[in-house]
Amino acid sequence: MKTYSAKPSEVEHKWVVIDAEGVVVGRLASYVAKRLRGKHRADFTPHIDTGDHIVIINADKAVFTGNKRRDKTYYWHTGHPGGIKSRRAEEILDGRFPERVLKKAVERMMPRESSLARTQFSKLRVYAGTEHPHDAQQPEVVDFAAMNSKNVKAA
């Protein structure tokens, strides 16, 4: 039996919409990274883009478990000496671009340093509100919150 290798012309990329309202950030990011890479498919091929297009809505209503909202810190460096900067997750979620928390979580679960990973990551679209401009693609709605009771933070 030969090993099957998907060809780029044979791959069909689906469009998926996920509502992030009340959903735990890390669990959602793990699921989305798997879908973007195409690892949920039987014809997954590591060197071919077999992943789906993912649209996440209500990213500003995603939640962290425990004290992560207050304690989790994102660091970056400006490139200048002594240029380390930081911002807490709470500040980002309450700021102008709350969708960056989800984008960073997914980005850090994807492989790094390859053009294929950058292409796969570019198929992720995250919106803070409920509106998105991708209705023409007729996306399939995935109820991520109902997949597992742990996906939603209990109040």
Domain map of the chain by residue range? 15-151
Tell me which CATH code domain 15-151 carries. Answer: 3.90.1180.10
What is the pTM assigned to this prediction?
0.91
Give me the mean pLDDT over the 27-52 stretch. Answer: 95
Q: Which residues 6+ apart lie within 8 Å of 46 measured at CB?
A: none
* pLDDT higher than 90, residue 63: yes
| Residue at token pair 């930081």 | 86
Q: What mean pLDDT is predicted for residues 6-22?
A: 94
SS3 content of the chain, % helix, strand, coil (to 5): 30, 20, 50
Residue pLDDT, tens place only, 69-123: 999 999 999 999 999 999 999 999 999 999 999 999 999 999 988 899 999 999 9
Task: Provide the sign of the torsion angle of the four alpha carbons 99, 104, 106, 110, taken in this order.
Answer: positive
The confidence score (pLDDT) of residue 154 equals 74
The type of residue at 40 is H
Pairing verdict, β 15-19 and 53-57: parallel
Whose CA is closest to 32, among 99, 113, 96? 99
Cβ atoms < 10 Å from Cβ of 49: 17
